[in-house]
Amino acid sequence: MVQDKKINNKPIIENRQARFNYELGENFEAGISLLGWEVKSIRVSKVDIKDSYIVMRKGEAWLIGMSISPSNQVTHSVDPLRTRKLLLTKSELSKIFKGTQEKGLTCLPLKIFWKDNLIKIKIGLGKGKSKFDKRESIRQREWKKEKAKTSKLNRNFS
């Protein structure tokens, strides 16, 4: 008898501010080096990636600023903002390094999710938007909503 495991593809946490503040390009999927208490806290969504970013040091990618709040079961002192290592292939590391150094892009975490009982993080290279670009994206979003409303009304009258 094979027992099917419940697969949860729903993101645990998503960084919506990154999509608003940056024009995103290439995306990568990376593993995160975590401790046991961190995995338990991520499982109950006690994580914040809003102010975090990725830095390249000595040919490795490091996640800085991700806050994981410890659960009540943790009895020893922990650092919720510790720097965590990202697990990527050499080719992905070189692409990220070239993007951040040569093209002046920023590497940001976009979302944290489960994949085959492993916690993964989706990271992306992005270029910062100016205030004008942010206003333009708000206008585009509102225009799409208006367009959808009017087309829905037109279909109801037909």
Query: Which domains, from first to last, does the chain contain?
Result: 13-129 (2.40.280.10)
| Residues across the chain | 158
Q: What is the pTM of this model?
A: 0.72
63 close to 120: Cβ distance less than 8 angstroms: no
pLDDT tens string 13-42: 888 888 877 878 888 999 998 888 888 888
H or E element, residue 143: helix 131-157
Label residue 122 by pLDDT band (50, 70, 90). Answer: very high
Phi, psi dihedral angles at 100 (to 5 degrees): -80, -35
133 close to 26: Cβ distance less than 8 angstroms: no
